[in-house]
Amino acid sequence: MQDDAQLDAIFSALAHPTRRDILARLAKGPATVNELAAPYDISLPAISKHVRVLQNAGFIAKGRNAQFRPCTLDASAIARVADWTAAYSHIWDARFDAMDHVLKNLKGDPE
């Protein structure tokens, strides 16, 4: 997927409270689609679609265990969001410069 198109998918996926909620749930550990659906008043197919959207955006990896589909959080898509914000960090937070400096050192890339 192209960079722009993937950011479209990523941000669209995050633009729904239920989907952000599902990510928060998965941050605590894997869950099946039914488990993910449990807290909500909406139908299972609706949740199934939300999961699909998150999967297409790269937030979720879906496994197979018998008739279950255990979902796990794939952190890389979230990291891409963080990367996107980093391009603006110099504007919103002067501390970023210090952070950036520290990160370079942690990476073994001292200036």
Partner DNA sequence: ACATTAATTAACACTTTTATTAATTAACGA
Partner DNA sequence: TCGTTAATTAATAAAAGTGTTAATTAATGT
For 37, counting Cβ atoms within 10 Å of its Cβ (0-12 exposed, 13-18 middle, 19+ buried), the class is buried
Q: Does 49 bind DNA (CB under 7 A)?
A: yes
CA 30/CA 63 separation, integer angstroms: 10
Q: Which is nearer to DNA, 64 or 95 (CB)?
A: 64
Q: Which is nearer to a second copy, 66 or 91 (CB)?
A: 91
Q: Which amino acid is at 21?
A: D
> Taking contact as CB under 7 A, which single stretch among the options 22-30, 61-69, 84-92, 94-102 is the one that binds DNA?
61-69
Which residue of 23, 69, 78, 81 would you call a contact of DNA, by CB under 7 A? 69
Q: For residue 95, give the DSSP letter.
A: H
> What phi-psi label fits residue 45: left (phi over 0), alpha (psi between -120 and 50 degrees) or beta?
alpha
Q: What mask of x and - would describe binding to DNA in positions 3 to 32, judged by CB under 7 A?
A: ---------x--xx-x-------------x
> Taking contact as CB under 7 A, which single stretch among the options 63-71, 72-80, 85-93, 100-108 is the one that binds DNA?
63-71
